[in-house]
Structure 1
Amino acid sequence: GGQRQRVVIAIALAGSPDIIIADEPTSALDATVQKQVLELLRTLVDETGVSVILVTHDMGVISEITNRVLVMRKGQVVEADHTTAILDQPGHDYTKKLLAAVPRLRVPPTTMSSEDGNVDGGSGRPADIGDDDLLLVAEDVSKQFSRPDFPWGLGAAKASFGLSDVSMRLPRGTVTGIVGESGSGKTTFGRILAGLDTAPTGRITIGEHAFDVSRSGRRSGLLGRVQMIFQDPSVSLNPRMTIGETLDESIRFGARTGSSKEPADLAAMMDRLGLPRSLLGRHPHQLSGGQKQRVCIARALLARPEIIVADEPTSALDVSVQAEIVQLLKDTIAERAMTMVFISHDLAIVQAMCSSVYIFKDGRIEDFGPTEFIFSRSDNPYTRALINARPQRFIC
């Protein structure tokens, strides 16, 4: 996703335009790449005089690059002023609500040696967790991708690791975060957990059942035990099915897997996610990006799985809706004793959601441990670089 987003940015910049309309240009980018892209846009504005209209939900992006801000609600501009004035002294209640909902990354100014914490210097092996109430164990999952030496497939193919000996131990009823740069293997690992991709080596155990990841999820029986919330809702929703048909299908699929004896309540789920019931008769192209993402969250929850892999589930949502969805996910996990793997570039949301965090880099686990340790005391240079790339205004 992050690679695709950068390609689109490159296409827009290559034409040397007078005006660039950037609609959520950094939503799929990790913090370090996002910072680089914003610096590039700022440099282009200063050097070439190009004007940029930046459409975004991310207040951090606004604080980093913009000169002026227009706050819109229901098709109208409710407030417009210089960026510093909007961020420091918002005048409209809606602006105040948006800024109050922005998650802050809490980083105490203390550091600690990795020898004192729950990390092992990036060996890729998780720290010991008691076997009591473990739900999912992934062991030595590896996957390679091949790429040609030369353009257009000429020459021999080179192998590069998408994942290399990745292992995790996830307790029941917890949320575990996965953070890393674009292309670090986060989504690949999530798709393997969900039975949507295979890996030549490794094993996944859910409860007492072991699954061979070299076989497809349908053949191994893994498919259905884990549900996935995809990063791009526009691609993951069937354009020929109405929203109601999509959600009904998920309810029937969950019933077939026998994952829960409790009947799924479609209307209650729509209400809980803030989706009007009138959307049930519409098709995906008739919904906004945020509405489509909430439909994808509803689809995953209505299947009543044991585990949910959430790949950037809040990237298409504005900050006020984002806060509501994060709370909904936390409440649902607590009520159903589910386990969630939460993949995100947003470190503040990861900190708010997750009890432990794994940091991915180049297909390996670079750092891991309890959330409080990772954000306040880990001295891993890569972890600190990700944290320092966060806009300073929203670090406390």
Structure 2
Amino acid sequence: MTPSNASTTATASGASDKTFAPAASWDAETAPLLEITDLEVAFRSSTGLVPAVRKANLTLYPGQSVAIVGESGSGKSTLAHAVIGLLPGTGRVTGGTIRFQGRDITHPSTQELTALRGSSIGLVPQDPMSNLNPVWSIGFQVKEALRANGLAGVADDRLAHLIAEHTDDAEKPTVGGSIDVDEQVALLLEQAGLPEASRRAKQYPHEFSGGMRQRALIAIGLAARPDLLIADEPTSALDVTVQRRILDHLQTLVRELGTAMLFITHDLGLAAERAEHIVVMHRGRVVESGPSLEVLQDPRHPYTQRLVKAAPSLASRRIESAHARGIQVTDDELLGASLGASSTEEILRVEHLTKIFEVRGAKGDDKTLTAVDDVTFGIRKGTTTALVGESGSGKSTVANIILNLIDPTSGKVFHNGVDLSTLGPKELFALRRIMQPVFQNPYGSLDPMYSIFRVVEEPLRVHGIGTAKEREARVAELLDMVSLPRSVMRRYPHELSGGQRQRVAIARALALKPEIVVLDEAVSALDVLVQAQILRLLSDLQAELELTYLFITHDLAVVRQIADDVVVMEHGRIVEAGAADELFAEPRQDYTRELLRAVPGAGIDLYSDEATGKADDKAEEV
């Protein structure tokens, strides 16, 4: 198979100058599609050049899928952006070579970049909301990609095939012939998995869900049938079920088109499931590379070993494998005070909670939206209860009702048997000390104008606790508790990393010595290594302070590590609830089973009996 038909279709439209010509000596059957040798990338700062990629090497063949794995700042996105000429203004390639289809593109001209992008190398960026133009319709943005590559109105073989599936007309477009551009756009969006594509093409990005926006970006990235698709964290902000469906569809598309894929992620489990070959980057260097299963089963570099240990998807698999072999508790399970088996006292209970929102401008049945529908569950003292579901399932609305941030339409919330709806303003204010939240985005929940000292000290000041000196001592104690240096006090949120900001948010939540902490997607925006550190911190704090957690998430891999009890929600209703061990061992509902199947890495036969037996034999030999 030739890598692409882009050259043929572009020539048919009279736009041959917009195609990238491979080197005359390049053989698509045997030679690498992309070859990076000793690449060095640096960014200019006030103090000189700061290296971001150091002596990196990578080889990708036509049709192959390779994943680059590493935490934020490891250089993985910088390496990919260097390939397609998208380095920021201060970034530049300072050494090494990049060869694509045998041609040196290390320092391409503007004309070469124009020819290269789209028809030869496509890109699916990370954040769809910031990468789609909010004032252009989705269809117009797909058209723009086609026009830029000289393919607007040109029917390639896949479009001709799609039309043949949808029509019985005798006159079907021939390959290289003409096609209505609007029909072409609708077919591309439909192929990317968008239903009712003709209608959707007229809509704008804000009218799409996160998953739909990502599908639109996939349609744009593959519109010109590139030989290589760079997928830069394409689903990191999506629910696991949506992530799985989109990645399944993306893999099917690139396989059908014969496109090679460079997949960038921080999750080793996801990388191993989606790529044949893994490249691990750390501090700008490639520290390990090899076939996916080989890297996971026998990681050589200490950093890769840390990634394997930290990835929640792989930890979840290890826990399930250990339980199947009769091991009751593993090192991967963060059980806090270990009260899951013994605690019977309910500290919090919600009964028949319902929340109905009015939808502005809607009529008839669409005028109201039932976000929470007759929800009942209890939380045992000193344990972690996970509230699990996709976006829109109602889990965050339940948390906001529990925190008394919004009122329920009907139903009750009880704390130690006391109905919270019977409390007056003074009692409700006192309740704030008992229940504290930690939100998903620490940068959004911390005031950028406040120093870290003021952020953590504010709850103490609002509740009139202690003198100024005592509050300062308490802030220092809280920073010690979350493993942050006291020097952080005088810094501001923008000066901290994501993990450090989340530690500050946890310190603030603990300032008033609460009994219950509500964690709303508190680790979902973090790299796996930072995520593992925060989860272990939460477990240690629970054991030390006898805290009760309500942990809200869409990720069952994280739930497997930290939860004692699990409540699964779908469309505002509870579909399944029970002890974590029982729910993971024998899920009763199809929706729960779908969530479990969607855990990244769930399909990898990494911890099978055979693999486990080999590992045990190896351990005995040592």
TM-score, structure 1 normalization: 0.79
How many Å separate the matches in 2 of 1:206 and 1:349?
27
Structure 1 equivalent of residue 512 of structure 2: 303
1:147, CA displacement in angstroms? 3.8
Q: Which consecutive residues of structure 1, in runs of 5 or more, have no partner in the other structure?
A: 112-128
- Corresponding residue for residue 166 of structure 1: 375
1:59-70 correspondence runs (5 A):
59-70=268-279
Structure-2 residue corresponding to 1:114: none
Q: CA deviation at 1:205?
A: 1.4
- Which of these residues, 385, 394, 419, is aligned with residue 210 of structure 1? 419
Please, which of 131, 134, 143 is the counterpart of residue 346 of structure 2? 134
Decide whether aligned partners of structure 1 residues 173 and 86 sit closer, same or farther in structure 2, where only a CA change above 3 A counts. same
The residue matched to 1:15 in structure 2 has which SS?
helix
Distance in 2 of aligned mates of 1:55 and 1:289: 19
SS at match of 1:392: coil
Q: CA deviation at 1:66?
A: 2.9
CA drift at 1:188: 1.1
Cα drift, residue 395 of structure 1: 6.8
Higher Rg: 2
- For the residue of structure 2 that corresponds to 1:35, the secondary structure is helix
- Is the aligned partner of 1:22 residue 2:227? no
Q: Match for residue 35 of structure 1?
A: 244
Cα deviation digits, residues 283-312 of structure 1 (max 9, x gap): 323333333222222221233211111122
Deviations 1:43-63 (A, max 9, x none): 343345667654433222212
Separation of aligned partners in 2, 1:286 and 1:21: 29
Structure 2 SS opposite 1:142: strand
Supply the distance in 1 between the matched residues of 2:419 and 2:482 (Cα, whole angstroms): 34
User: Which residue number corresponds to residue 247 of structure 1?
Assistant: 456
Verify: 1:104 aligned to 2:313, yes or no: no
Q: How much does 1:263 deviate? A: 9.6
1:9 aligns with 2:214: yes
Q: What's the counterpart of residue 407 of structure 2? A: 198
Task: Tell me if structure 2 keeps the 8 A contact 1:194–1:217.
Answer: no
Cα-Cα RMSD: 3.7
Superposition map of 1:67-82 within 5 A: 67-82=276-291
Tell me the equivalent position of 1:335: 544
- Are 2:518 and 2:549, in contact at CA under 8 Å, matched by a contact in 1? yes
The 3-state SS of whatever aligns with 2:534 is helix
Deviation of 1:249 (Å): 1.4
**Cα 1:213–1:295 shift into 2, 3 Å:** farther
Aligned partners of 1:218 and 1:59: how far apart in 2?
48
1:246-285 matches, cutoff 5 A: 246-253=455-462, 256=465, 265-285=474-494
The one-letter amino acid of 2:502's match is: Q
**Residues 240-299 of structure 1: per-residue CA shift (max 9 Å, x gap):** 222222112144356659xxx999743344344343444433332333333322222222
In the TM superposition, residue 76 of structure 1 has moved relative to its aligned partner by: 3.5
Where 2:367 maps in the other structure, the secondary structure is strand
Distance 1:287 1:381, change over 3 A: same
Q: Relative to 1, partners in 2 of residues 1:94 and 1:205: Cα closer, same or farther, differing over 3 Å? A: same
Contact between 1:254 and 1:304, CA under 8 Å: does it hold in 2?
Answer: no
1:198 and 1:214 in contact (8 A); partners too:
no
For 1:53 and 1:321, locate their aligned partners in 2 and report how far apart those are by CA, in whole Å.
24
Aligned to 1:126: none
Instruction: Structure 2: state its 5+ residue gaps.
Output: 1-126, 129-207, 325-340, 609-622
> Which secondary structure state, in structure 2, belongs to the residue aligned with residue 60 of structure 1?
helix
Give 1:11 deviation, angstroms: 5.2
SS of 2:569 mapped into structure 1? strand
Report if the CA contact (8 A) 1:199-1:214 is conserved. Answer: no
Q: State the partner residue of 1:315.
A: 524
SS in structure 2 opposite 1:352?
Answer: helix
CA positional deviation for 1:325: 2.3
Q: 1:234 offset after TM fit, Å?
A: 2.6
Instruction: Report the CA distance shift for 1:47/1:300 in structure 2 as closer, same or farther (over 3 A).
Output: farther
| 1:69–1:82 contact (8 Å) kept in structure 2 | yes
Q: Which residue of 2 aligns with 1:182?
A: 391
User: CA distance change for structure 1 residues 383 and 217 in 2, over 3 Å: closer, same or farther?
Assistant: farther
Q: Any idea what the Cα deviations from partners look like across 1:76-108, whole Å, max 9, x if unmatched?
A: 433344434432332211111211233224447
1:145 aligns with 2:354: no
Secondary structure, aligned partner of 2:450: coil
The structure-2 alpha-carbon separation of the partners of 1:109 and 1:362, relative to structure 1 and needing over 3 Å to count, comes to farther
Distance 1:388 1:296, change over 3 A: same
| Structure 1: distance between partners of 2:532 and 2:354 | 35
Deviations 1:308-358 (A, max 9, x none): 111222223333333332222122223222211111223232122121111
2:579 to 367, 370, 382: 370
Greater relative contact order structure (CA < 8 Å, 6+ sep): 1
Residue 321 of structure 2 contacts residue 607 of structure 2 at CA under 8 Å; is this kept in 1? no
Structure 1 counterpart of 2:603: 392
Kept in 2, the 8 Å contact 1:22–1:52? The answer is: no
Q: How many Å separate the matches in 2 of 1:73 and 1:238?
A: 32
User: Would the aligned equivalents of 1:253 and 1:303 in 2 still touch at CA under 8 Å?
Assistant: no
Greater shift in the superposed pair: 364-373 or 282-291: 282-291
Larger deviation: 195-204 or 367-376? 195-204
Equivalent pair of 1:360/1:367 in contact (CA under 8 Å) = yes
Q: SS of the residue aligned with 1:195?
A: coil
* Distance across 2 between alignment mates of 1:219 and 1:168: 22
- Larger deviation, residues 1-10 vs 139-148: 1-10
Instruction: Output one character per residue of 1:353-373: Cα deviation in whole Å (capped at 9) or x when no partner.
Output: 121111111111111111111
Structure 2 partner of 1:357: 566
- Taking a change above 3 Å as real, the CA distance of residues 256 and 279 of structure 1, as seen in their structure-2 partners, is closer
Could you tell me how far apart the structure 2 residues matched to 1:217 and 1:186 are? 28
One-letter code aligned to 2:572? G
State the secondary structure of the residue aligned to 2:448: coil
| Residues in 1 aligned to 2:359 and 2:288: alpha-carbon distance in whole angstroms | 49
Alpha-carbon distance in structure 1 between the residues aligned to 2:430 and 2:219: 47
Measure the CA separation in 2 of the matches of 1:269 and 1:81: 43
Structure 1 residue 229 displacement after superposition: 1.2
Counterpart CA distance in 2 for 1:197 and 1:66 is 44
For 1:368 and 1:101, the matched residues in 2 are separated by: 27
TM-score, scaled to structure 2? 0.53
Identify the residue that residue 116 of structure 1 maps to in structure 2: none
Q: Distance in 2 between matches of 1:146 and 1:27?
A: 27
1:189 Cα deviation after fit: 0.8
Per mean C-alpha deviation after superposition, the further-off stretch among 360-369 and 43-52 is: 43-52
Distance 1:243 1:16, change over 3 A: same
**Deviates most, 347-356 or 68-77:** 68-77
